[in-house]
């Protein structure tokens, strides 16, 4: 009886799954379509794949289905000579539709920059600024975003953290290159916002696996998160934000006798910030009353905020306070992602900005336009849900711990991937980095990037591998048409030089 009981139990666990049960299990789904783009008057025909790509762990167990879109130029005789670019947005927790429909893919959605765009129907036009004349393109949606989801024993939370995010993205890139026969192609990585923080980790992870990248593009970069959070008793965030406060004031005509060009003004602001503002904050309460009063007046002259406001703020104004105060008398708040944008304030005595006018202005056309393109042009199954942000999923909570950031015992003393980037550039002296900065970006400020790069302890010959470009726009500089053209030119030059 005991023997038969055991055999019976074994039988229970080896009965094949029914067709219905098999269908309910998550599985890879890829949808093909033909697309094209015309750049500089030349039509490029593309094979497009969109859907989910199964990624396995080091034990060959399925761990995730990555949502992706892949554009491959038709008729390429030798793919080893054709660059391939992997790209994503940031968040953390954002899908990649912003870059996809803003600047990289074959189609784009025009908006009324820097104001609100009318409701649908939105236009979907040929993207003459696409990267597809220079490289094939893979848009990646991290787990929890887009169509991406965990598999097997994995859960969403297993991917929601600095290190598992880096590891899973790197695994996708490696396995995609192998499956598509692109391992020997020139390889480029492009990330925006948190995607640049991720980039620094992914470039290191791939390098450790023997995959050396030709180039890494950082769009609206941040590598040290201390710069964004205004921690108590820490001056760095105030210092690196100040030049962008000044740029915003210049744009909105709040600077008395402002210089004719923004670049001239920014050079002056950099000098003032480094030689006068930073030392004043470092002095703390050792700054005399007269020195503090003089500094408050200088800060007012650069930013349009009153001398009294700067004095009451002890010479330290957070970005949220700046959003609310800069145009308070006009009943407006300025944008975080792009301070050229303004919106109506519903609380004129609020200490901080209530919402981001730039996000409110561009989200509807981008989200609606992309979903229309995904399900109609790319032919993705309309029953498959596309999650624009993991923040909308239950239990979303990011784990900010990162290997290499532990200084004393188990205490994490910094939240940065700058050391990953530094280590990788030293070990791969042929890899190049392009950093693209929006001068009106108050989400990831350009002076913070400059500070980070200047503190990497790179030899001059390695630091020369980093190129910095600047745009008179914000976080998503590609919504501004003059910057869009410059973005395309800068990216083309970078790929051509390092393919």
Relative orientation angle of helices 236-251 and 289-303, to the nearest 10 degrees: 40
Cα 124 vs. chain centroid, distance in angstroms?
Answer: 23
Predicted confidence (pLDDT) at residue 2 exceeds the cutoff of 70:
no
**What pairs with residue 469 in β-bridges?**
436
Closest to 269 in 3D by CA, of 237, 243, 288, 291: 243
Tokens of 45: 């025909």
Closest to 323 in 3D by CA, of 430, 245, 392: 245
Tokens of 71: 């554009």
pLDDT, position 440: 98
Predicted confidence (pLDDT) at residue 412 exceeds the cutoff of 70:
no
Cα–Cα dist 357/76, whole Å: 43
Cα–Cα dist 32/50, whole Å: 7
Tell me the H-state helices in 377-459.
418-427, 446-454
Relative orientation angle of helices 262-272 and 289-303, to the nearest 10 degrees: 160
Burial zone of 65 (CB within 10 Å; 0-12 exposed, 13-18 middle, 19+ buried): buried
Backbone angles phi and psi of 5, in degrees to 5: -65, -45
Instruction: Give the pLDDT band (50/70/90) at residue 354.
Output: confident
**DSSP assignments along 4-39, one per residue:** HHHHHHHHHHHSPPPHHHHHHS----EEEEEEEEEE
Mean pLDDT of the 6-22 span: 38
Closest to 363 in 3D by CA, of 102, 50, 12, 127: 102
CB atoms within 10 A of CB 169: 27
Mean pLDDT of the 471-481 span: 98
**pLDDT tens-place string over residues 455-475:** 999 999 999 999 999 999 999
Residue with tokens 């957070």: 318
Predicted confidence (pLDDT) at residue 71 exceeds the cutoff of 50:
yes
**pLDDT tens-place string over residues 208-237:** 999 999 999 999 999 999 999 999 999 999
DSSP letter assigned to residue 224: B
Residue with tokens 């210089």: 259
- Lowest average pLDDT, out of 410-414, 421-425, 433-437, goes to 410-414
Predicted confidence (pLDDT) at residue 19 exceeds the cutoff of 50:
no
Instruction: Give the pLDDT band (50/70/90) at residue 8.
Output: very low
Instruction: Give the pLDDT band (50/70/90) at residue 26.
Output: confident
**pLDDT tens-place string over residues 147-193:** 999 999 999 999 999 999 999 999 999 999 999 999 999 999 999 99
Tell me the H-state helices in 32-140.
97-99
Which residues make up the CATH 3.40.50.1820 domain(s) of the chain? 24-225+364-498
pLDDT, position 249: 98
Predicted confidence (pLDDT) at residue 9 exceeds the cutoff of 60:
no
pLDDT, position 7: 31
Cα–Cα dist 103/250, whole Å: 27
**pLDDT tens-place string over residues 316-328:** 999 999 999 999 9
Average pLDDT taken over every residue of the chain: 93
Residue with tokens 């005509």: 253
Tokens of 54: 């199964």
The reply to whether CATH 3.30.499.10 applies to domain 24-225+364-498 is no
**What pairs with residue 47 in β-bridges?**
34, 72
- Please, which residues have CB within 8 angstroms of residue 332's CB and are 6 or more apart in sequence? 342, 343, 344, 345
244 preceded by cis ω (within 30°)?
no
**pLDDT tens-place string over residues 388-407:** 999 999 999 999 999 866 55
Predicted confidence (pLDDT) at residue 413 exceeds the cutoff of 70:
no
Contact 220, 194 (CB under 8 A): no
**pLDDT tens-place string over residues 95-148:** 999 999 999 999 999 999 999 999 999 999 999 999 999 999 999 999 999 999
Closest to 376 in 3D by CA, of 107, 71, 166: 107
**DSSP assignments along 180-220, one per residue:** TT-TTS-EEEEEETHHHHHHHHHHHHHHHTT---SEEEEES
Closest to 213 in 3D by CA, of 412, 373, 434, 24: 434
């Amino acid at each position: 009886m005991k023997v038969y009981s055991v055999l019976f139990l074994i039988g229970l666990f080896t009965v094949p799954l029914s067709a219905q049960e098999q269908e309910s299990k998550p599985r890879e789904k890829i949808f093909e379509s033909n697309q094209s783009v015309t750049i500089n008057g030349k039509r490029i025909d593309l094979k497009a794949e969109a859907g989910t790509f199964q990624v396995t762990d080091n034990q060959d167990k399925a761990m995730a289905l990555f949502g992706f879109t892949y554009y491959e130029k038709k008729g390429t005789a030798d793919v080893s000579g054709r660059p391939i670019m992997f790209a994503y947005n940031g968040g953390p927790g954002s899908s990649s539709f912003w870059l996809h429909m803003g600047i990289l893919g074959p189609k784009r959605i025009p908006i009324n920059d820097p104001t609100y765009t009318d409701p649908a129907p939105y236009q979907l036009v040929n993207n003459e600024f696409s990267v597809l004349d220079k490289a094939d393109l893979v848009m990646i949606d991290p787990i929890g975003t887009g169509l991406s989801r965990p598999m097997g024993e994995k859960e969403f939370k297993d991917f929601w953290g600095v290190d598992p995010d880096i590891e899973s993205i790197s695994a996708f890139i490696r396995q995609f290159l192998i499956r598509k026969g692109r391992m020997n192609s020139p390889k480029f990585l492009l990330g925006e916002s948190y995607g640049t923080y991720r980039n620094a980790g992914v470039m290191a992870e791939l390098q450790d696996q023997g995959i050396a990248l030709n180039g890494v593009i950082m769009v609206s970069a941040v590598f040290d998160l201390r710069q964004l959070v205004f921690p108590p008793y820490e001056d760095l965030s105030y210092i690196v934000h100040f030049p962008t406060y000044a740029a915003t004031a210049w744009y909105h005509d709040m600077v008395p006798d402002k210089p004719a060009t923004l670049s001239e003004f920014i050079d002056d602001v950099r000098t003032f910030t480094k030689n006068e503002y930073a030392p004043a904050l470092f002095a703390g309460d050792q700054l005399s009353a007269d020195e503090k009063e003089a500094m408050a007046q200088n800060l007012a002259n650069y930013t349009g905020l009153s001398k009294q406001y700067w004095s009451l703020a002890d010479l330290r104004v957070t970005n949220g306070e700046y959003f609310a105060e800069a145009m308070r008398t006009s009943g407006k708040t300025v944008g975080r992602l792009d301070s050229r944008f303004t919106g109506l304030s519903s609380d004129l005595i609020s200490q901080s900005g209530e919402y981001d006018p730039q996000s409110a202005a561009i989200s509807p056309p981008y989200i609606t336009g992309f979903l229309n393109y995904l399900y109609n042009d790319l032919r993705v199954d309309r029953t498959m849900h596309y999650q624009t942000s993991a923040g909308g999923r239950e239990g979303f909570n990011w784990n900010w711990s990162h290997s290499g950031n532990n200084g004393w015992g188990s205490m994490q003393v910094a939240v940065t991937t700058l050391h990953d980037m530094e280590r990788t550039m030293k070990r791969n002296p042929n890899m190049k980095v392009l950093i693209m900065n929006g001068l009106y970006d108050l989400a990831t400020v350009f002076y913070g990037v400059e500070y980070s790069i200047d503190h990497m302890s790179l030899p001059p010959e390695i630091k020369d591998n980093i190129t910095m470009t600047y745009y008179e726009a914000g976080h998503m500089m590609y919504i501004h048409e003059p910057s869009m053209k410059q973005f395309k030119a800068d990216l083309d030059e970078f790929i051509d030089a390092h393919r």
